[in-house]
Structure 1
Amino acid sequence: MSEKIKILGAAGIPKEMVERLEQEIGPVEVLSSDSEEEIIKAIQDKQVFVVRSKPKVTAHIIQNAPQLKVIARPGVGTDNIDRKACEERGIKVVNTPEASASSVAELTIGLAIALLHYIYPTCHSLKEGKWLKGEYTGKTIEGKTWGIIGFGGIGRRVAEIVKVLRAEVLAYDPYVPDEEFTKRGIKRITRLEELLEQSDIVSIHVVLNQETEGMFSEEVLHKMKKGAYLINTSRGKVINQKALGKALEEGYLGGAALDVYEVEPPMDQELLSLPNLICTPHIGGSTEEAFSNATEILVRKIKEIFHIKETAPLGS
């Protein structure tokens, strides 16, 4: 393809990604906001739109993007993109689920350790001049049963790390073949309720769709072990936050950690202020390595779609 591909980048895409896209594919215009009006104005002559978890790419935007061929998402979730409208227009949607698997998995483990060892409240109290060594008794991951919901790239990486920490690992995912569990030595659970009943720690690694939205209702939360811990680094709408807040406040759950929320940024300060909740601002995939991996994969996938040949290195 002789003409340069024009790219529109969502507000906040990393500078390094912009530079690499311009070097390998074509000029990039970066948005200053997520407003639909600004997007429609800027997208008129663009063939590629690079987004993150924001903005919401609506059917209205897609219908007003006459030259758009590709929506590229450096990351996993594409629930902010109207996939049906893309299909109707023949627009390809590509993402990079493999890029951030280790980053999200490490945050998941870190949140679990922080919960079980009371890292947040003890750090906070010490900074306030309080020495509360005798008031907190933590727990180890070793010897516990860790249930993984969603056995894709992130779930598998979590399983690898948890096994090293000497916990029993159970996993639930009705869409993954048996051999993926067997070859990793992971016990497959075919009923979600069974996994919840057996697990001391549960981590969620699913995509957001009609099946998973609201998956953790009040009823499902109460199928977990009393005193168990819940970690969500996938998508916020998988959990009913009101029901989670109630389960934490009543002491039914020992604790929870959230990196994602029903609405982002979250507005439920009552939930966020609970002492047995740890929260982070959707940073699971926000590492230098994840951004670098996503950039490489995204550039390759876009070049494949537009049949752009790889540039030969100097001296070859």
Structure 2
Amino acid sequence: MAKIVISEFMDEEAAKSLKARFDVTFDVGLVDDRQALLAAVADADGIIVRNRSRVDPELLAAAPRLKVVGRLGVGLDNIDLAACESRGVIVKPAHGGNGSSVAEYVLTGALLLRRQAYFSSAAMLAGQWPRQALIGREVADSTLGLVGFGAIARETARRARALGMSVAAFDPHLASNAPEWSDVTRHESLASLLAASDVVSLHVPLTKATHHLLDAAALAQMKAGAVLINAARGGTVDEDALAMALREGRLAGAMLDVFEQEPLPADSGLEGVPNLILTPHIAGVTDESNARISRMTADNVRAVLERAKVYA
């Protein structure tokens, strides 16, 4: 019987659906125990991961039977695609499964950070009444700037327009005459998008070109009082530069769901930074999206292994 290793959390029903035809090792502790993971995949035909399990040459060498990697999500920076291709290992991300979850996260961040009032709990409990200090701004009639304009960014744009926001985007990989631009202001440079946007949201993968895409120089190009949301990939924002911009009050706030190092180190430079909301890489994970992505990934892995006739 073919074997599938699941090293990170997944919807229980989707995992159970694989057990009818496959030997399934479902152990979320494997993501934090590299040697145990390498041992588990020694006879595996498939592996299912999220964003923390590294599928690299070391793992591929430890898994000579591996035929498919199921990704519970769409980011692939933890998967060595070239190494997988050279070994004939198929990589199957779950495209489209978490678009609505990420879009809702981004717009929640826009509402929270623009309004400012939601940072008042500690002051209120201390007996203060800081009404004037917390008079914020509406998102209506503000501009949402999307860095990258793929499927999730487009879903975010659709929902932002329902809130009365104008939407602008920069994506050098999308042709200027693409129909996706029909109701969005297209910017030809990142600098012009940053200068025009009240809310900036990142929707790019982590590559050599996008590492620290928003560095100190780029952050300085943002509007005074603008806010930044990163639910894309850690490493695309220079966290030290962002901390400085927030401490100096040049930006009104930021919400980060992804980080250069996950979990955050004990000496993170983000400690004590004002008007900063941090979440643990959860933007794309809701009960609903977890079920969708898990079903899609189970189906993807099952289909590959059945085509390869390794299910019996």
Cα separation, 1, equivalents of 2:78 and 2:209 = 16
Match of 1:271 in 2: 270
CA distance in 2, matches of 1:305, 1:198: 45
1:30 aligned partner: 26
Shift in Å, 1:251? 1.4
Instruction: Give distance in 1, aligned partners of 2:179 and 2:278.
Output: 31
CA shift in 2, pair 1:198/1:66, >3 Å: same
Deviation string, structure 1 residues 204-231 (Cα, Å, up to 9, x no partner) = 0111112111111111111111221111
- Aligned pairs (5 A) from 1:287-306: 287-306=286-305
The verdict on how the C-alpha distance between 1:193 and 1:28 changes in structure 2, with shifts beyond 3 A counting, is same
Supply the distance in 1 between the matched residues of 2:130 and 2:94 (Cα, whole angstroms). Answer: 44
Aligned to 2:66, which of 57, 64, 68? 68
Alignment-derived partner of residue 85 in structure 1: 83
Determine the structure 2 residue equivalent to 1:239.
Answer: 237
Q: 1:202 is matched with which residue: 192, 200, 203? A: 200
Q: Percent identity?
A: 34
Aligned-partner residue type, residue 47 of structure 2: F
Q: Classify the secondary structure of the residue corresponding to 1:72.
A: strand
SS in 1 for 2:255: strand
CA distance in 1, matches of 2:50, 2:113: 28
Is this contact kept in 2: 1:151–1:171, CA < 8 A?
yes
Deviation for aligned residue 1:168:
1.3
Tell me how far 1:179 sits from its aligned partner: 2.6
Cα distance in 1 for residues equivalent to 2:141 and 2:156: 16
Alignment match, 1:169: 167
Partner of 2:10: 13
Q: CA deviation at 1:111?
A: 1.1
Query: TM-score, length-normalised on structure 1?
Result: 0.90
CA change 1:128–1:153 in 2 (3 A) is farther
What are the Cα deviations for residues 29-70 of structure 1, in whole angstroms up to 9, with x where unaligned? 023232221111111111000001111222111111011001
Q: CA deviation at 1:128?
A: 4.6
Residue type of the partner of 1:105? A
1:179 matched residue in structure 2: 178
> How much is the aligned-residue C-alpha RMSD, in angstroms?
1.9
The alpha carbon displacement at 1:127 in A equals 4.4
Gaps in structure 1 of 5+ consecutive residues: 310-316
2:147 and 2:170 in contact (8 A); partners too? yes
Please identify, of 195-204 and 9-18, the stretch whose mean Cα deviation from structure 2 is larger. 9-18
Classify 1:128/1:28 alpha carbon distance in 2 versus 1 (closer, same or farther; 3 Å).
Answer: farther
Amino acid at match of 1:203: S
Amino acid at match of 2:200: V
User: Does the 8 A contact of 1:201 with 1:229 survive in 2?
Assistant: yes
Q: Find the partner of 2:148 among 125, 150, 155.
A: 150
CA shift in 2, pair 1:12/1:292, >3 Å: closer
SS at match of 2:270: helix
Q: CA deviation at 1:129?
A: 4.7
Supply the distance in 1 between the matched residues of 2:148 and 2:80 (Cα, whole angstroms).
Answer: 23
Alpha-carbon distance, 1:301 to partner:
2.0
User: How far off is 1:97 after superposition?
Assistant: 2.8
- Give the match's secondary structure for 2:69: strand
Decide whether the 8 Å contact of 1:10 with 1:54 is kept in 2. Answer: no
Single out whichever of 166-175 and 270-279 deviates more from structure 2. Answer: 270-279
Q: What residue is the counterpart of 2:99 in the other structure?
A: 101
1:181: Cα distance to partner? 2.5
CA distance in 1, matches of 2:75, 2:165: 29
- Deviation, structure 1 residue 269: 4.2
Aligned partners of 1:109, 1:21: CA distance in 2, in Å? Answer: 35
User: For residues 215 and 298 of structure 2, what CA distance do their matches in structure 1 show?
Assistant: 39
Contact 2:117–2:135 (Cα < 8 Å) also in 1: no
- In structure 2, the CA distance between the partners of 1:120 and 1:22, relative to structure 1 (3 Å rule), is farther
1:134 to 132, 135, 150: 132
Higher relative contact order (CA 8 A, sep 6+): 2
In the alignment, structure 1 residue 262 sits paired with structure 2 residue 290:
no
Question: SS state of the match for residue 214, structure 1?
Answer: coil
Please give the alpha-carbon distance, in whole angstroms, between the structure 1 residues aligned to 2:307 and 2:91. Answer: 18
In the alignment, structure 2 segments of 5+ residues that lack a partner are none
Structure 1 CA distance for aligned equivalents of residues 127 and 25 of structure 2: 49
Q: Quickly say closer, same or farther: Cα 1:128–1:10, change in 2 above 3 A.
A: farther
Give the residue type in structure 2 aligned to 1:9: I
Distance 1:140 1:44 in 2: 55
Question: Residues 283 and 124 from structure 1, CA distance in 2 versus in 1: closer, same or farther, beyond 3 angstroms?
Answer: farther
TM-score, normalising length: structure 2: 0.91
